[in-house]
Amino acid sequence: MKLNLKRPLAFFDLEATGVNVGADRIVEIAILKAMPNGTEEMLVKRINPEIPIPLITSLIHGIYDEDVKNEPKFGDVAQELADFIGDADLAGYNSNKFDIPMLLEEFLRVGVDLDMSDRKFVDVQNIFHQMEQRTLKAAYKFYCDKDLTNAHAAEADIRATYEVLLAQLDKYKDVEFTDKQGKVSVPVVNDVDALHLFTNLNKSVDYAGRIVFNDNGEECINFGKHKGKTLESIFDTEPSYYAWMMQGDFPLFTKKKLEEIWKRWNKKKQELKQSVASQNQPQRNQQPKKQEPAKPVTNYMLEQLKMKFGK
């Protein structure tokens, strides 16, 4: 099956030093860009993370410090990666929770601001988990009837992910799905916009899931004591929460979105103060009534006064 694409769809997979988006670093990235005309482009890069790779992590993906010590740093290849991705939509396996936040963090760390405002995101894992509840290796066997060899190598994983999505489109063609609210739909269709809606479960503001939109489109905290509360209501009652997050171990992109919301809240607050002050301020432009000049005293006026006071 050929993907029905309006613009390129970039499947990508990362191998990293760990899973902490704010602290860990990328050691390998593979990008398979599916083009609307059916052709494919591939880019694979090994990267020196500039920090040690923990042994337990190396045992999973097979990349050791020795393998990347002479590779370029992320800052050396960041612009090449951004240019290769271009305006493509993004797809991956667990990409909404890990790969997209991690990639954005690396770009922001070296001063490359990859515009995410008009992109669609297709997380193949979310289709799989909602429809079958399995892992990538099991998904590859289940959908493609193949064994995934060389698992946790970025290129092998991302090609398997690509094949799984194509098989999912075949398997779930015209298959109904009932969501938690009881709404019945046919969500797995050959359309990136529809797959974006189906696989982006939490409507994340920051892609790491620390800030999410509620049903009213308001930004809410998605963790800790304030989970479910809007950020603006938190700022109203506990403005120090902003400083705590900005100084904490949160991803740079999370802090970027937090700062945007903080500035918007401050602007609204200042506008409200100015509006209240202007309503309570006396009208200074009101012109005082002009006093008429005194009229000269006449004999008639004196006669009237004598009659009034009996003089």
Which residues are CB-contacts of 82 (< 8 A; sequence separation ≥ 6)?
A: 107, 112, 114
pLDDT average, residue stretch 38-53: 97
CA 27 to chain centre: 23
Q: Quick one: CA torsion of 103, 108, 109, 112, rounded to 10 degrees?
A: 100
Which of 71, 83, 80 shows the shortest CA–CA distance to 28? 71
pLDDT average, residue stretch 288-292: 61
Report whether pLDDT(89) > 80: yes
Domain ranges, ordered by start, for the chain: 9-201, 203-278
CATH for 9-201? 3.30.420.10
Q: Tell me, what's the pLDDT at 72?
A: 98
Q: Tell me, what's the pLDDT at 124?
A: 96
**pLDDT tens-digit map of 11-31:** 999 999 999 998 999 999 999
Question: CA–CA separation, 274 vs 266, rounded Å?
Answer: 12
Q: Tell me, what's the pLDDT at 66?
A: 96
Q: In what order do the strands lie in the sheet with 121-123?
A: 40-46, 26-34, 9-16, 89-92, 121-123
Q: Tell me, what's the pLDDT at 30?
A: 97
**pLDDT tens-digit map of 176-218:** 998 877 889 999 999 999 999 899 877 889 988 899 998 899 9
**pLDDT tens-digit map of 268-287:** 999 998 888 888 776 555 55
Q: Tell me, what's the pLDDT at 151?
A: 75
**Reduced to 3 states, what is the DSSP secondary structure of residue 71?**
coil
- Rounded mean pLDDT of the chain? 90
**pLDDT tens-digit map of 253-265:** 999 999 999 999 9
Report whether pLDDT(96) > 70: yes
- Dihedral sign computed on CA atoms, order 52, 31, 87, 77: positive
Which residues are CB-contacts of 84 (< 8 A; sequence separation ≥ 6)?
A: 10, 31, 33, 41, 43
**Number of helices and strands in the chain (H, E):** 12, 9
Q: Tell me, what's the pLDDT at 309?
A: 61
pLDDT average, residue stretch 52-60: 93
Tabulate helix, strand, coil % of the chain (nearest 5).
Answer: 45, 15, 40
Least confident of 48-57, 142-151, 162-171, 294-303: 294-303
Which of 4, 95, 79, 70 shows the shortest CA–CA distance to 43? 79
Q: What is the pLDDT confidence band of residue 145, given thresholds at 50, 70 and 90?
A: very high
The predicted model scores a pTM of 0.70
Q: What is the pLDDT confidence band of residue 288, given thresholds at 50, 70 and 90?
A: low
